[in-house]
């Protein structure tokens, strides 16, 4: 089965959808505002050396001069690890000097960017360290066997004249020789082009920027099952073609520009799918539905039949709903990019054969997902526990924030509950203070209730405390917000 890739480009955001047989399987979103300078390489010019602070200002072409501390100079690192005498910064840098630097911290407020000369370039599975001849393995790869094998393989693929080293990223877990080799040669190609630029360009100039989402798609997502890669921006299409020519020539023929009238994402109903992927409930064709709840600790998926199930086909209906749910929830996990512990609560099935068939269907559906997962069998309570590796943020984390009205509880106190709360509070305050009048500032719904159904209770309280109570609508207030003003 082939997967098509749709790339929607706007000045503020790039969105990528993986579509298989007309249905969206995976979404990636990158906002321009989130793209900083970290990781970018510049040919900078030293503008001032400050021996007292053992640091220097470097012009890299940004609004403010960037900053480098002696500890982030390559020579200093080497000296420290060798235990030899440390060379002060004024012996290493001089004003006007051209210097290849990498941004390690974005500029913030009045502070310029922070730089290092310890260069590193990230690939798909490896990070290349052109000046550091070591091979390191990510802590997150736990198996000692994997670590040893990865180290040996990466070392064996390195050419004789290699002066640099590699860090093996978590993504390399389970990588084939072919993939490791491809990543090494990709990183070397990039490094060669950076060096060539550094020789030919004036200061300050940019030598390398971290890949955009669209470029990462070509590097990381394209495989044998990829169909067409359709891009709705002419300039991005050209950029991708240029990039692919150098780094991934095999995908060149699959990149095409989309210039249709209809928005590209509408052609596969992607925006509708995004809206659906943000809601708790997912409807199934059979009439059943899923309820997906994401908390900090775990995600639960509850499978429900739609309405009344009865008669002779009871077991059969439940079995079919669970089968459909298995496929739908596998897709939702990927679409929403849910990670961590996931508890699946299928509808109870008495038949052991049905249970194993649902589990098989689930595993089959999950197999399309590139993310690492574990799936248990049915527990005694009839639950299936699974884990899915956390990678980037979940879709909901990326696009939403906790509801300020309900504090993310998912419900708000009813207007009547709030009316009674307000009445009690006025009573409490009337014992403590002695104002001329009380005024309730509240949302329209609360004020309406006080004017109509709860008007008697309000009047009774006013009589009881011997003070007038007035009402005022505060249209900016949410339902749960109110103020009691003493006048
Ligand atoms: Zn809410």
Q: Which two tokens stand for residue 348?
A: 């109870």
Residue 423 token pair: 């009445």
pLDDT at 306 over 90: no
Under the banding of pLDDT at 50, 70 and 90, the label for residue 309 is low
Dig out the tokens for 257 from the structure.
Answer: 């520009």
Residue 10 to residue 264: CA distance in whole angstroms = 12
Which of left, alpha, beta for 267 (phi over 0: left; psi -120 to 50: alpha)? Answer: alpha
Contact call for residues 469 and 458 (beta carbons, < 8 A): yes
Domain boundaries, the chain: 3-35+210-270, 40-208, 280-398, 415-486
Q: Which sign, positive or negative, has the C-alpha torsion 471, 472, 478, 481?
A: negative
Provide the pairing of β-strand 165-168 with 135-137: parallel
Is 46 in contact with 58 (CB distance < 8 Å)? yes
**pLDDT tens-digit series, residues 236-276:** 999 999 988 887 888 899 999 999 999 999 999 999 999 99
**Rounded distance from Cα 292 to ligand 1 centre (Å):** 16
Residues 87-104 have pLDDT tens digits of 999 999 999 999 999 999
Tell the CATH topology of 3-35+210-270: Nucleotidyltransferase; domain 5 (3.30.420)
Q: How far apart are CA 196 and CA 99, in angstroms?
A: 14
The answer to whether the CB of 147 falls within 8 A of the CB of 137 is: yes
Give me the pLDDT at residue 96, please: 94
The architecture that CATH gives domain 415-486 is 3-Layer(aba) Sandwich (3.40)
Strands 41-50 and 55-59, by their bridges, are antiparallel
Tell me, what's the pLDDT at 162?
A: 85
pLDDT-wise least confident of 169-173, 437-441, 455-459 = 169-173
User: Ligand 1: distance of its center to the CA of 394 in Å?
Assistant: 19
Q: How far apart are CA 17 and CA 23, in angstroms?
A: 10
Calculate the CA dihedral of residues 273, 275, 281, 287 and round it to 10 degrees.
-40
Mean pLDDT of 277-303: 92
Can you state the angle between helices 270-277 and 314-336, rounded to 10 degrees?
100
Distance (angstroms) between ligand 1 centre and the Cα of 439 equals 27
Averaged pLDDT, 300-305: 94
Which pLDDT value is given to residue 300? Answer: 96
Residue with tokens 């020519």: 245
One fold for 3-35+210-270 and 415-486 = no
Q: What is the CA radius of gyration of the chain?
A: 30
Distance of CA 109 to the CA centre of its chain: 25
DSSP E strand stretches across 245-345 = 255-257, 281-283, 289-294, 298-304, 340-345
Which H helix or E strand runs over 137? strand 135-137
Three-state DSSP at 468 gives coil
- Exposed, middle or buried: residue 321 (CB in 10 Å: 0-12, 13-18, 19+)? buried
Instruction: Determine contact, residues 323/330, Cβ cutoff 8 Å.
Output: no
Q: What pLDDT is attached to residue 407?
A: 81
What CATH number labels 40-208?
Answer: 2.40.50.140
Which residue would you say has higher pLDDT here, 368 or 292? 292
pLDDT digits (tens, 9 = 90+) for 462-476: 999 999 999 999 999
Is the pLDDT at 290 greater than 90, yes or no? yes
Distance CA 479, CA 412 (A): 8
Q: Does pLDDT of 419 surpass 70?
A: yes
Cα 294 to averaged position of ligand 1 atoms, centre (Å) = 14
Measuring CA to CA, which residue among 380, 315, 323 is closest to residue 357?
323
What is the CA(53)–ligand 1 centre distance, in A?
Answer: 50
Q: What is the mean pLDDT of the chain?
A: 91
CA of 405 to the centre of ligand 1 (A): 5
| pLDDT the model gives residue 308 | 62
**SS3 (DSSP) at 47:** strand
State the average pLDDT over residues 3-13: 94
Q: How far apart are the CA of 417 and the centre of ligand 1, in A?
A: 17
| Dist. CA 214 → ligand 1 center (Å) | 34
Per-residue model confidence (pLDDT) at position 311: 61
402 CA distance to ligand 1 middle (Å): 8
CA of 288 to the centre of ligand 1 (A): 25
Q: Are 425 and 459 in contact (CB under 8 A)?
A: no
pTM: 0.75
pLDDT tens per residue across span 126-180:
999 999 888 888 888 888 888 899 999 988 888 888 889 999 988 788 788 888 9
pLDDT in tens, 188-218: 989 999 999 999 999 999 999 988 899 988 8
Please tell me what DSSP assigns to residue 455: H
């Amino acid at each position: 089965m082939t997967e098509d890739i749709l790339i929607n480009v706007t000045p503020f955001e790039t969105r990528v959808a993986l579509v298989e047989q007309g249905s969206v399987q995976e979404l990636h979103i990158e906002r321009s505002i989130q793209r900083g300078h970290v990781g970018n390489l510049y040919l900078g010019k030293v503008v001032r050396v400050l021996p007292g602070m053992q640091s220097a200002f470097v012009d890299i072409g940004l609004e403010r001069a960037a900053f480098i501390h002696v500890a982030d100079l390559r020579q200093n690192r080497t000296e420290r690890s060798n235990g030899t005498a440390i060379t002060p910064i004024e012996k290493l840098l001089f004003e006007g000097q051209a210097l290849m630097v990498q941004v390690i911290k974005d500029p913030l407020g009045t502070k310029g960017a922070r730089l290092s000369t310890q260069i590193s370039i990230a690939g798909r599975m490896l990070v290349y360290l052109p000046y550091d001849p070591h091979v390191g393995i990510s802590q997150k790869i736990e198996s000692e066997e994997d670590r040893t094998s990865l180290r040996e393989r990466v070392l064996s693929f390195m050419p004789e004249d290699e002066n640099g080293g590699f860090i093996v990223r978590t993504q390399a877990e389970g990588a084939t020789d072919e993939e490791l080799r491809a990543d090494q040669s990709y990183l070397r190609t990039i490094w060669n082009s950076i060096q060539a630029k550094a020789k030919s360009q004036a200061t300050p100039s940019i030598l390398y920027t971290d890949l955009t989402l669209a470029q990462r798609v070509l590097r990381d997502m394209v495989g044998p099952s990829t169909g067409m890669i359709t891009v709705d921006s002419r300039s991005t299409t050209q950029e991708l073609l240029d990039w692919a020519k150098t780094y991934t020539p095999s995908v060149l023929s699959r990149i095409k520009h989309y210039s249709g009238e209809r928005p590209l994402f509408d052609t596969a109903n992607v925006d509708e799918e995004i809206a659906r992927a943000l809601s708790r409930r997912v409807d199934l064709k059979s009439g059943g539905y899923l309820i997906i709840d994401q908390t900090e600790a775990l995600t639960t998926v509850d499978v429900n039949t739609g309405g009344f199930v009865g008669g002779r086909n009871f077991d059969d209906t439940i079995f079919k709903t669970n089968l459909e749910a298995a496929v739908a929830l596998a897709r939702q996990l990927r679409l929403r990019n849910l990670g961590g512990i996931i508890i699946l609560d299928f509808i109870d099935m008495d038949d052991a054969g049905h249970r194993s068939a649902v589990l098989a269907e689930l595993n089959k559906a999950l197999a399309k997902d590139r993310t690492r997962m574990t799936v248990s069998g049915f527990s005694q309570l009839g639950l299936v526990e699974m884990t899915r590796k956390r990678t980037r943020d979940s879709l909901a984390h990326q696009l939403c924030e906790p509801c300020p009205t309900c504090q993310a509880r998912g419900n708000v106190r009813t207007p009547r509950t709030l009316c009674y709360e307000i009445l009690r509070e006025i009573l409490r305050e009337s014992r403590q203070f002695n104002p001329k009048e009380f005024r309730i500032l509240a949302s329209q719904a609360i004020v309406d209730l006080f004017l109509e159904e709860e008007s008697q209770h309000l009047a009774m309280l006013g009589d009881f405390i011997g003070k007038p109570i007035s009402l005022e609508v505060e249209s900016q207030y949410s339902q749960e917000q109110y103020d009691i003003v003493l006048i």
